Structure 1
Amino acid sequence: MNRIVISNILLFCVLSMSHKTYSQDEYPVMEGQYLGQKPPGMMAEPFAPGIISRQGWELEGVFAPGMKEFYFTTKGGKYKQPTVIGFRQQNNVWKKYIEFMRRGEIVFAPSGTRMHMAEGYRERMGDGWTERKSLGPMFDRDDWGIMRLSASAKGTYVFDDYKSNDVIRISTLKDGKRQAPTLMGPIINTGKWTAHPFIAPDESYLIWDSEREGGYGDSDLYISFRQKDSSWGPAINMGDNVNSDKWDAYASVTPDGKYILFNRGMDDDNNNVDIYWVNANIIENLRPKL
């Protein structure tokens, strides 16, 4: 199953949204942490079923650092193009406060001041965000196809490139200067549809998705842990508590470190994609014991 390249695939959603304003009629009242959802255990389950994860296309769910904002991408109904919907928690109630055209998959810098969007980004400005800016010619290249770029607290960038046979690249900072991106090794760049990396804020692990021999049938989520010599350890399939025989992809860890959010295709054609989540203790269970 090909991984989703959102800008190139036309998908239809049976869900119809009739409201044209940021009316809360689109969503029920949600109070408390995690949009009022009961946290999952060690088996992945849908995130906010019937509210966020509905029939149709909802994916790329991320919380901003501070856990007071939540964003996801949708398409279908009134949204003819992939659109990011943003919620903000105010007085313990989550309210939709923004929507904008999707241009790159959102990943937040650990500081919370930058919203990465592929080769572009927005910066926190007061109570909102600036317009999208470019990371510059080192990343904004016609021969690269960046879908997702993830940043560590040290400023390391890890990103995918679907125009170069689905590979993942890494770019570090040295003496405050951005280093040219290089290909990650075969531990990461093996298999098909290798994409959507997430690097831990402390760079202790990297999660990505790929279709590999020995997997569960479609793209699975894999994790690699940083070794004492700074190399990356073996690629570890995250197991059937996370992965399925469907398309499992685009993982991120909530900024509080407690949960993993990811996408799952609910049918063979990925016309219905939901957001799932699972307890992040799975990461520690997979970490090799010294």
Structure 2
Amino acid sequence: MMRKLFAVLPFIFLLHSIGIDAQSFKRKTEKLIEKSKEALYQRDWNAAISYMKKAVDSAPDNHLVYLEKAALYYGAGNINEMIPALQLAFSLSNSWPAKYHDYYFVLGKELFDKGKYEVAENPLKIYAEKGYNKEFVQLTEVILKSIDFALAELKEKSGINYDIRTIKSNNIFRSVYFPFFTLYPSEFLYFTGQRTAQLEEGIYRAQLKGDQFERVEEVPVINTSDNEGAAAISADGRVMVFTSCNRRGGLGSCDLYISFSEDGKWQTPENLGANINSSAWESQPFLSSDGRLLIFSSNRKGGYGKRDLYYSRKIDGVWTKAENLGGDINTFADEISPFLSLANDTIYFSSNGRVGMGGFDLYIAPWGVGNGMVENLGYPINTYSDEISYHQKFDGSRYWSREVAGDEKYPPSNIFYFNEQDKKSDDVRLVYGYVIDAKSKKPLKAQVQIYDLEKDTLVHETFSDRVSGLYKIVIPRKSDYSFYVEEQGYLFESKQISTKSEERQQQLDFQLNKLDKGQSIPLNNIYFEFDSYELNAKSKNEIHKVANFLKQNPSMKIEIAGYTDQQGSDAYNLKLSEQRALAVYEALVKVGVSKNQISSKGYGEKAQPDGRYAKTVRINII
């Protein structure tokens, strides 16, 4: 999944920049090393290794011969033998000629990546004093601080039993990563997987029973014969953004694509276009719970490091031009696999350019560009292995991917999970319900919009399912919300809901009436001050909804009907209801509704169609 940094060190540096110093070896040893290098140039690996073994046997106490052996094994692609050779050289002498100094970094970095913190420290301290490669020196400073951090974490948390589990997938997949759980049509786990004995990636879906996969299936339409992976799924399971490389019509090596689910089937993906993709690498996306914020990783030019995090917002159906998340999040190295909490207030991501346990660690920061407050998630979630692709379920349990310890060039990965919950998830609410035809009771595919009344902002927009009529929405914070449900040919319906109770799930159903004369609906999001006909500012969205509805149906005529409760005299209540109906009438005219389409009338304390007496306003189609 992730290669360690030393594994991509320039081959030319390790092999060709270090020549043989004849004064450092006996003539026999020098000739054996020359033959080993010549054999390596001829791609005769076995001969090269055989000559080097003889060279070591001829000078077993010379640390320089082990440095030559390390260079050879790197050239031969045998990393497992390279580091022991450097360790032997260091044990014989820690004072190496200047031309070998970068090997201090190679040795220390690899030992650190294997969690051997104490023995990694000495060669890295020497490199911090003598090194000249700017990138290696910079990373050495981070690693030395990381060693202190890691040892402190292990000391503080030693003896604590953490119930960290892993999804059992080895009999099906070589690697699994990028877990994403959805709430629709039921709880599904989407993930990227490599089948056993393969490196090609694909996007899969499954359900979990404990730590076991159930009903694993490859996602159709999305997957091709090429690599697809790192998919982000909206919480309602309706939108997927994923990575695909070298597709016809793409903009770069790997691009981000989007697909929508209709009637439970994923539709043909579309490239997200030049506002998101570039000629470089774009991958590992995250899609916010409301589907209107996209965060991803890219190695495009102009960033802070190798791979940076970028973001884009969906405004009026169009993704804005991607922007860099800035230097508080991005470093000189790699930032990848972002995840935003369901409350939309916290970002998680992986980085190998910060103080941590080793390799890629998971970090947390308040969401917002320029926040400057990044923290390591610490042990036991982070270890010396690579940890990436963090995800939280609705219940607060946490999932992430970790490389399995081993000596492979591309180590396999498993998905781990931790049932300890993030307390912030307690504020997140799930609202669900059904949208049906009021008369036939048949399910409807209708647009569902939710506004936060306290912030006066649109927080989510989705559709009910055409087959079942079901919608599911994650509400990010405790507040009061207005819901609007619209479908062509039907009278829209609005309702108000509060998520300030302790209930984490609430059901809110809608029955839409067709646009026929005599139909009537309450305007549940029209608000008046007590004993007043002055419209509250929170009524603005409802006024605009009614206005847009009338503009889309220019031949329709409606009556704004005002009502009051039973407090006060009949005459007073009648007048107040007339004033409230007129206030709504005037507000609609002010935003462009034709006077020919609307009229107003007060009904006082007369009971409404549902039998209630309330200080509200209704729409009556006339």
Q: Which residue of 1 aligns with 2:598?
A: none
Contact 1:266 1:272 in 2 (8 A): yes
Matches within 5 A, 1:1-290: 2=3, 43=162, 45-49=164-168, 51=169, 56-66=174-184, 67-77=186-196, 79=198, 81-87=200-206, 94-99=214-219, 100-101=223-224, 102-118=227-243, 119-143=256-280, 145-152=281-288, 153=290, 155-164=292-301, 165-174=306-315, 177-226=318-367, 231-254=370-393, 256-267=394-405, 269-279=409-419, 281-282=421-422, 284=424
The code of the aligned residue for 1:106 comes to A
Q: Which residue of 2 aligns with 1:16?
A: none
Name the SS of the counterpart of 1:188 in structure 2: coil
Q: Give deviations 1:139-164, integer Å, cap 9, x for gaps.
A: 23223x11112122261211110344
Residues 280, 204 of structure 1: CA spacing in aligned structure 2 closer, same or farther, 3 A cutoff? farther
Cα distance in structure 1, aligned partners of 2:376 and 2:424:
14
Contact 1:191 1:210 in 2 (8 A): no
Residues 44, 121 of structure 1: CA spacing in aligned structure 2 closer, same or farther, 3 A cutoff? farther
The code of the aligned residue for 1:211 comes to N
Deviation at 1:211?
A: 1.1
Contact 1:87 1:95 in 2 (8 A): yes
Cα distance in structure 2, aligned partners of 1:270 and 1:78:
12
The code of the aligned residue for 1:83 comes to G
Name the SS of the counterpart of 1:263 in structure 2: strand
Name the SS of the counterpart of 2:283 in structure 1: coil
State the superposition RMSD in angstroms.
3.2
State the structure with bigger RCO (CA 8 A, min sep 6), 1 or 2: 1
Deviation at 1:252?
A: 1.6
Contact 1:120 1:135 in 2 (8 A): yes
Cα distance in structure 1, aligned partners of 2:300 and 2:163:
31
Deviation at 1:283?
A: 6.7
Contact 1:117 1:149 in 2 (8 A): yes
Contact 1:154 1:202 in 2 (8 A): no
Cα distance in structure 1, aligned partners of 2:4 and 2:340:
20
List alignment gaps of at least 5 residues for structure 2: 6-160, 244-255, 426-622
Contact 1:46 1:53 in 2 (8 A): no
List alignment gaps of at least 5 residues for structure 1: 5-41, 286-290
Aligned residues: 242
Name the SS of the counterpart of 2:295 in structure 1: strand
Cα distance in structure 1, aligned partners of 2:296 and 2:345:
16
Q: Give deviations 1:83-124, integer Å, cap 9, x for gaps.
A: 2222258xxx94234343442411112332101113102211
TM-score normalised per structure 1? 0.71
Residues 53, 108 of structure 1: CA spacing in aligned structure 2 closer, same or farther, 3 A cutoff? farther
TM-score normalised per structure 2? 0.35
Identity over aligned pairs, percent: 15
Contact 2:174 2:197 in 1 (8 A): no
Name the SS of the counterpart of 2:401 in structure 1: strand
Cα distance in structure 2, aligned partners of 1:111 and 1:277:
21
Deviation at 1:234?
A: 0.6
Q: Judge which range, 63-72 or 161-170, deviates more.
A: 63-72
Residues 246, 54 of structure 1: CA spacing in aligned structure 2 closer, same or farther, 3 A cutoff? farther
The code of the aligned residue for 2:218 comes to I
Q: Judge which range, 134-143 or 114-123, deviates more.
A: 134-143
Q: Judge which range, 209-218 or 55-64, deviates more.
A: 55-64
Rg (Cα) greater in structure: 2
Q: Which residue of 1 aligns with 2:80?
A: none
Deviation at 1:191?
A: 4.7
Cα distance in structure 1, aligned partners of 2:423 and 2:257:
29
Name the SS of the counterpart of 1:148 in structure 2: strand
Report which of the two has the higher share of helix.
2
Deviation at 1:176?
A: 5.6
The code of the aligned residue for 1:240 comes to Y
The code of the aligned residue for 2:336 comes to A
Report which of the two has the higher share of strand.
1
Q: Give deviations 1:126-183, integer Å, cap 9, x for gaps.
A: 122112221122123223x111121222612111103442001111245665321111
Contact 2:174 2:196 in 1 (8 A): no
Contact 2:398 2:421 in 1 (8 A): no
